[in-house]
Amino acid sequence: MTTPIETTQLGHAVSAPASPADATLDRVPNPHVGTLYLARFTVPEFTSLCPVTGQPDFAHLVIDYVARDWLVESKSLKLYLTSFRNHGAFHEDCTVGIGKTLVERLDPVWLRIGGYWYPRGGIPIDVFWQTGVPPEGLWLPDQGVPTYRGRG
């Protein structure tokens, strides 16, 4: 018996959600349950709003996870992340909140997220969160985003 695909957005015209709370993260069955592999999503143009000033904040996000039974459907992930464009939250809240939301929806073996935020007020803020120690034997490449150097 195959597990049904749980998608509400794939193959349909869907507007961007107004906020992360309004977004739906669809999931699809992992075709390789029990296989140790890493899935990576790189989001080089993530945006949100400063909750104090309303000014835009920009980040490069890297999401790595080891699936258990479910994979996140990429169109729904894109729409979920797009919903932050008009959402006011600090860098730490965005980064950790996205990671926790994915964990809640997917129940992965392991997940980490790196939020590489561009400077505001002259200070870049990088935020990193993971669910625990990576599984033994996992090929875990560097996230590939250099720390901010400015003009140096």
> Rounded to whole angstroms, how far apart are CA atoms 145 and 65?
17
Q: State the amino acid at position 26 in one-letter form.
A: D
Sign, Cα dihedral of 79, 85, 87, 93: positive
Options 22, 26, 57, 107, the catalytic residue:
57
Residue 89 backbone zone (phi > 0: left; psi -120 to 50: alpha; other: beta) = beta
State the virtual CA torsion across 150, 117, 40, 93 in degrees, nearest 10.
160
Q: Is 57 a catalytic residue?
A: yes
Q: State the amino acid at position 41 in one-letter form.
A: F
Options 22, 26, 50, 94, the catalytic residue:
50
* Neighbour count for residue 8 (Cβ, 10 Å): 12
Residues comprising the chain, all counted: 152
Phi, psi dihedrals of residue 48, rounded to the nearest 5°: -145, -175
Q: Is 107 a catalytic residue?
A: no
Q: Which residues are catalytic?
A: 50, 57
